[in-house]
Structure 1
Amino acid sequence: MFGRLSRKSQSKESASTPSKDAHDILRKIEESLQAARTESSFPQVNEARRLAKELETLVNRLKGKDEQSLWSSQLAVVNEEIETVMNSLMGGGGEAGNKGAGEASSPALDLGGGGEGGLFDGMQVGSDAGGGGLFAGLTMSAEPPADSVLAPSPAGAPVPVPAPVPSPMESLAQLSPAPGASESNEQPGGGGRRRKKNLRVGYARKEKSQTNLVASPAPAVSDNSTESSQRLPLSDEFVMESPAVQADPVDVVAAAEEDGADEILGEPVLMTEDAGATQPAESVSPTLGAGPSGDEEEGGEEQDGDADSPQDEEESVEEEGSKGGAPLLSLDDLAAEDEAPAEPIASVPDAAERIGEQDGAAAFSLDFGDIAFGDDETYAESAAKLEKVLSANFIKLELQNSQILQQEKSARDKRIGAANDIAQAKKKSEVLEEEQMKAVELEEFEKADELNSSIDEAKESYTKAINEWYKAQEECEDISATLASILESKSEVKLKYAGALKKLGEALESRAGSIDESIAELEKENAEHEANMAEILEDDMSRLNALRRVLEEREGEVQHKIKEKTTEFVEQKEKHLEEKSKLEEELEAIRETLRKKEEEMAEVQGEIDEIDGKIQKVEAKFAKQQDKLNSERKDIEEEGEKFQALQDQLKAGQDVIKEKITKESSRKQQLIEDSQAACESSKATESQMKDDIENAKKTDALRQTLAELRLEEKAANEKIDALKSEVDQKKEGLSRSKAELEQMVLAIGEAESVIKNAEEMLPKLEEEKKNAVAKKNFKDAAKFSSEAKALTDEKIQAESSLSDLQGSVEDARKKAEEMEEVVEKLEGELSAAEQEGRVLQNKHISITIDMLNQAMEAASSEENYDEAAALQNEIEVAQELKNSIEVN
């Protein structure tokens, strides 16, 4: 995956233990990232991150500078690849995205897989897997989901997201690379180019002589690849890494609409941020104009060096917000709520309507009340309609939410960075103070004095980091309020969804009641049918039975008459037959009289024939009656067959009615079950939403408490600043007064000294003057006289000044005492205000620590151990701040 270094290190893996271990770790990272792409596995990415940290530790242990530099460059590529895979998993692209990304990002180096999959399938409406942080507990889980939803579905499972309209194929064809680009060493995506540039920097020292590997040709723009390249990956955990450059919102929306076309009920929405790894250059929206060709990309890359090219900036797609702060918000409302929207998103409001068009509907409303349930619709079909509207509403909310989460992540990163700065500054200050104490113990006072400035700088950095941490924390709290409003909107949407489910249940129950009326009508019809059939059967059976009785009586009479008429002839025939038998026997014995007997027999035979003719005449006489009876029997049998057919027809109609009754009863039972299911689902959703709203209220109360504390802290800080300023002014005035008093006291001392000196010198000068006069040394006498006069003038001036100074000193002392009393009073008020501020600050930090603990537990439960470790460090820093406040 990571190119020539991994292959080269195979031949040198026995050179040194750190190098061998680094090679093994690199191979494990490749396997983890490959598994993460194939299985859309977030834990595999975390494992790759952990291995990357181990690799960084081993690289630092390498002794050779060239080898260490080479491995450092490789480590940068590894970290970028991990972030690329993380972004692709967070974005989610489904099978089409896997195929498109695999074709578009097949680089010259063996970078492994390339498929993508949704990470937070099933939404998480979404805990916040990628984001954690202070407000991780505020993010809803995965909700159906999916960006979401635009999507809640993993790459492998089609879980609910809406379907905006894809960009025209003609525009995409214009944006495809030139045919000559297939022979260049560059990849279609900006992320691939950045990886390759990093590789070139890392390999330049050791492998200048090796030729560049040939890149795979640029993929053709097919229907599938175009759709996957423009698709906006969706997800239920809505936090991602910030891209280097924010993409045009119109592009983001176009991609979001494309993704929603395939996954209306799929994943919660997440925007991908590394377009180079997941989207080819063809995915740029037509609104941006035709993109540069492969040759132009090469030229831009050579000019920019390691910096991202303009094409990279176009391909770097930033998350767009998707969670609003009011139920069923319009997109304009969502954009208005954002603190700093990039541009008004104009193309998304039509997304839901386009979704409806793709599903065969003339219009698609985002209001649950506009949904009409057909009489023949099943519960699943009606519920699917509700879920579709729910997902469409979530799409609009999540577009806003992703922007807010981006801001929240930025603020959280600032806060974590400030916490790290606090720990480092404190550690540095403690080390410097320890060095200063050691220098003092060794009586190295110059060194100890030099360390004072470093200690002051460390303390200043410590204070600055604390202020930055507080500022970032306040920013996180403000963003939390916005997120909470979006979550409230989600809860309200889900409550409306629950209300619609309840309405559906009531409709199903009403339909079940109407089926009762239909069944009653059918049962009434069946009863009338049975009554008519019973009446018809009774009449026909009576008639048929009567006909049979008449027929049997008439047949009996005819048989009796035939028997009466033919009895005598039968008896005669029997006698002749006996005689014939005797004659035949005699014929055997008496052959001589054969002729006679034959004649006699012929005569007898003639008589027998005559008698048979008479019998036939009698039978013929009754044959017409017999035929008539037979005809009547046939008619009766036909009537019986008709009656049986009618009976079968009536029975079949009755069976149809019974089948209808059974079917309607089954349908009624199904509707009752569906109604109960809808009501139970509605109750469960309402219960869940009530719990969520209750938790949101608690969080709002906590947030309100934090806001009030912040206002109180602000007021207390303003009061403290005002008191400090006033105390400083008063102290400055007091210092001036004391200085003036000291100058006055010095002046009094000087005046008293002048007076005392004059009093001591004047008698001496008088005496010397007298002595000089006595000696008639008038020159000295004049000198002494002038000196005495000067001393006298100085004494008089000093006495005058002394009198004035003594009065001023008294006034200055009274004024200084009054100012000291004022300063003491102000210092007492300042101390009380600072104490009050520390109490408020302590409460604020206590609440913050609780929230950080909740966020750390959420991150730990999601196996996001890096985030949990960062939060643990923040908690420790916050606890130290709390302890220092409590000590004060």
Structure 2
Amino acid sequence: MEQWLSSSEALEVKKMELEIESHFISEAHTELNNNIEHSIEDDKKEKEILCKRKTMLMGELEKLLALVKQKEKEIAENDSDLKAVEHKINNVVSGFKEIQSTIDVKYDKLQSVLAQVKLETETLSQKKDEIDNFLVQEEGMGAKLKEFARVSEEEAKGYTEIVKLRRSLMSSILNSGEDKLRLANNEEKLSGDVKLFQQEVSAARASLQELSSRKSSIQQDIASFKQRIIFIDKRVPELEAEKKVATAARNFKEAARIASEAKSLCVEKENIQMEMDTATSNLEKLEEETKGTFDKLQESEGMISLKEKELAMARYQKLLLTAATARAEKAAAQEMGDVEEANLLLAEAEAADCEAERIRSTYNFKAEDISNLRKDLVSMDLVSILDKKQLEKLAGSSSV
């Protein structure tokens, strides 16, 4: 029973140790999970952004593929019609060859049976009338075929012009997307530059404070040294006078002590003078370093102002592009009858214009600062549904 109790107690102790160890492991596991989640949080956000961009690009690709398939189908139908016309023309030509061959055979027979020519003249005359009528009919059909070919050629030219217009407009759309991406990258770079210069300004100000503190300390030391030198310069003549009095009184011990004190003060003055010269040199170096740090501070502050203006210009241009894109998408939504989407896009464009105007008034930007920015944009959805006249009108009104 005692062994059993001892074993039970040992097991209880072991159980408590294992529970404590399990608790520590659980806390470490929780901390590890939190660290992992924190480490991949930005990557998850970037993954979500890339997934959304992939979805958008796949949607645009599907629309373009659908448009290409439609045009391929139309071209195939046109090729089929063209082959049918060519087949018909070949049949007509073949018919002519057969008729010519028949005439040749009959002509040979007529040569061999010249006696029967007169009897068959009337029949041949009737046959000739039939052939003439047939030729007239074939000439009319040939004219119709030529007209059909001309109409087909004009339609093909029209389709070619439509494809060129759509390619030109889509190129403008892609260029505006590239401009927006370029401005976003430039904005990110300029923002990093501003933060970097702000860090340099903070470091320079901290350095100026430290240099100022050191300069004040050195100036206090120099003032203290000067006061001590003034005291020594005043005390040494007094000691010389006391030494003469002691010598006259034949108090040589006192005279020796006074001489020793005067000598000690002179040595101290030399040491203080050396320390003061060193402090003065250090003060001059500090002043030069302070001037250099102050110049660097002013330069960094000037660069911050310049970079902030460049950053504002990049944001201003990106906002104008965003507003123009939203208005183009709004026009497409109105064309397709989606009023709710059009209202949302209008609100987005107005918000972007409002923020852009705030930036423009803050930094006093001029119209010539954004002369190379695309302002009249079109929607890819709108380009894919418009006919030739509408596309020509859209291309004429835009900056393509």
TM-score category of the 2 structures, normalised to the smaller one? 0.5 to 0.7
1:503 corresponds in structure 2 to 79
Written as runs of structure 1 = structure 2, the 5 A alignment for 1:717-866 is 717-752=191-226, 801-866=275-340
Written as runs of structure 1 = structure 2, the 5 A alignment for 1:512-591 is 512-521=88-97, 524=100, 539=119
What is the deviation of 1:695? 0.6
**Aligned 8 A contact 1:762 1:791 in 2:** yes
Written as runs of structure 1 = structure 2, the 5 A alignment for 1:372-451 is 407-408=55-56
Written as runs of structure 1 = structure 2, the 5 A alignment for 1:310-329 is none
Amino acid at match of 2:173: T
- Note closer, same or farther for the CA distance 1:522–1:727 as it changes in structure 2 (3 Å cut): same
Amino acid at match of 2:355: L
- Distance in 1 (alpha carbons) for counterparts of 2:179 and 2:226: 68
Amino acid at match of 1:723: F
1:619 corresponds in structure 2 to none
2:178 corresponds in structure 1 to 704
- Note closer, same or farther for the CA distance 1:876–1:792 as it changes in structure 2 (3 Å cut): farther
What is the deviation of 1:817? 0.6
**Aligned 8 A contact 1:709 1:840 in 2:** yes
- Distance in 2 (alpha carbons) for counterparts of 1:814 and 1:540: 131
Amino acid at match of 1:701: N
Of structures 1 and 2, the larger Rg is shown by 1
Aligned residues: 292
Does residue 875 of structure 1 match 2:378?
Answer: no
- Note closer, same or farther for the CA distance 1:504–1:677 as it changes in structure 2 (3 Å cut): farther
- Note closer, same or farther for the CA distance 1:870–1:743 as it changes in structure 2 (3 Å cut): farther
- Note closer, same or farther for the CA distance 1:504–1:735 as it changes in structure 2 (3 Å cut): farther
SS where residue 281 of structure 2 aligns?
A: helix
- Distance in 2 (alpha carbons) for counterparts of 1:541 and 1:839: 97
1:306 corresponds in structure 2 to none
- Note closer, same or farther for the CA distance 1:793–1:851 as it changes in structure 2 (3 Å cut): same
What is the deviation of 1:699? 1.9
Q: Mind listing any 5+ residue stretches in structure 1 that lack a counterpart?
A: 1-338, 341-402, 409-478, 543-646, 769-786
- Note closer, same or farther for the CA distance 1:885–1:661 as it changes in structure 2 (3 Å cut): same
* Higher relative contact order (CA closer than 8 Å, sequence separation 6+): 2
Once structures 1 and 2 are overlaid, which stretch shifts more, 756-765 or 516-525? 756-765
- Distance in 1 (alpha carbons) for counterparts of 2:205 and 2:176: 41
What is the deviation of 1:523? 5.2
The superposition leaves residues 629-676 of structure 1 with CA deviations (integer Å, 9 ceiling, x where unpaired) of xxxxxxxxxxxxxxxxxx9xxx9x999999999998898788667655
TM-score (norm 2): 0.53
**Aligned 8 A contact 1:762 1:788 in 2:** yes
Amino acid at match of 1:514: N
Written as runs of structure 1 = structure 2, the 5 A alignment for 1:358-369 is none
1:116 corresponds in structure 2 to none
Amino acid at match of 1:816: T
Amino acid at match of 2:176: L
What is the deviation of 1:854? 1.3
SS where residue 197 of structure 2 aligns?
A: helix
- Distance in 1 (alpha carbons) for counterparts of 2:121 and 2:336: 82
Does residue 685 of structure 1 match 2:159?
Answer: yes
- Note closer, same or farther for the CA distance 1:822–1:869 as it changes in structure 2 (3 Å cut): same
What is the deviation of 1:881? 2.8
Amino acid at match of 1:747: D
2:359 corresponds in structure 1 to 885
- Note closer, same or farther for the CA distance 1:757–1:484 as it changes in structure 2 (3 Å cut): farther
Amino acid at match of 1:513: I
- Note closer, same or farther for the CA distance 1:878–1:744 as it changes in structure 2 (3 Å cut): farther
> RMSD value over aligned CA atoms?
5.4
- Distance in 2 (alpha carbons) for counterparts of 1:870 and 1:790: 92
What is the deviation of 1:821? 1.6
The superposition leaves residues 246-296 of structure 1 with CA deviations (integer Å, 9 ceiling, x where unpaired) of xxxxxxxxxxxxxxxxxxxxxxxxxxxxxxxxxxxxxxxxxxxxxxxxxxx
2:398 corresponds in structure 1 to none
What is the deviation of 1:488? 5.5
The superposition leaves residues 144-199 of structure 1 with CA deviations (integer Å, 9 ceiling, x where unpaired) of xxxxxxxxxxxxxxxxxxxxxxxxxxxxxxxxxxxxxxxxxxxxxxxxxxxxxxxx
SS where residue 706 of structure 1 aligns?
A: helix
- Distance in 2 (alpha carbons) for counterparts of 1:503 and 1:685: 14
- Distance in 2 (alpha carbons) for counterparts of 1:515 and 1:832: 80
**Aligned 8 A contact 1:505 1:679 in 2:** no
- Distance in 1 (alpha carbons) for counterparts of 2:266 and 2:101: 149
- Distance in 2 (alpha carbons) for counterparts of 1:498 and 1:526: 42
Written as runs of structure 1 = structure 2, the 5 A alignment for 1:167-316 is none
- Distance in 1 (alpha carbons) for counterparts of 2:278 and 2:159: 91
What is the deviation of 1:519? 4.1
The superposition leaves residues 36-83 of structure 1 with CA deviations (integer Å, 9 ceiling, x where unpaired) of xxxxxxxxxxxxxxxxxxxxxxxxxxxxxxxxxxxxxxxxxxxxxxxx
- Note closer, same or farther for the CA distance 1:761–1:872 as it changes in structure 2 (3 Å cut): farther
- Distance in 2 (alpha carbons) for counterparts of 1:813 and 1:744: 11
**Aligned 8 A contact 1:709 1:844 in 2:** yes
What is the deviation of 1:738? 2.2
Identical-residue share of aligned pairs (%) = 15
Written as runs of structure 1 = structure 2, the 5 A alignment for 1:81-160 is none
SS where residue 332 of structure 2 aligns?
A: helix
- Note closer, same or farther for the CA distance 1:856–1:762 as it changes in structure 2 (3 Å cut): farther
The superposition leaves residues 302-325 of structure 1 with CA deviations (integer Å, 9 ceiling, x where unpaired) of xxxxxxxxxxxxxxxxxxxxxxxx
What is the deviation of 1:829? 3.1
**Aligned 8 A contact 1:519 1:661 in 2:** no
Amino acid at match of 2:294: E
Q: Mind listing any 5+ residue stretches in structure 2 that lack a counterpart?
A: 1-49, 243-260, 364-400
- Note closer, same or farther for the CA distance 1:833–1:404 as it changes in structure 2 (3 Å cut): closer
Amino acid at match of 1:511: H
1:44 corresponds in structure 2 to none
- Note closer, same or farther for the CA distance 1:861–1:766 as it changes in structure 2 (3 Å cut): farther
Amino acid at match of 2:326: L
- Distance in 2 (alpha carbons) for counterparts of 1:839 and 1:871: 23
**Aligned 8 A contact 1:526 1:657 in 2:** no
**Aligned 8 A contact 1:512 1:671 in 2:** no
- Distance in 2 (alpha carbons) for counterparts of 1:488 and 1:753: 90
- Distance in 2 (alpha carbons) for counterparts of 1:817 and 1:798: 28
- Distance in 1 (alpha carbons) for counterparts of 2:230 and 2:334: 87
SS where residue 825 of structure 1 aligns?
A: helix
What is the deviation of 1:725? 3.4
- Note closer, same or farther for the CA distance 1:525–1:744 as it changes in structure 2 (3 Å cut): same
Amino acid at match of 1:838: A
Amino acid at match of 2:303: E
What is the deviation of 1:814? 1.0
- Distance in 2 (alpha carbons) for counterparts of 1:740 and 1:879: 52
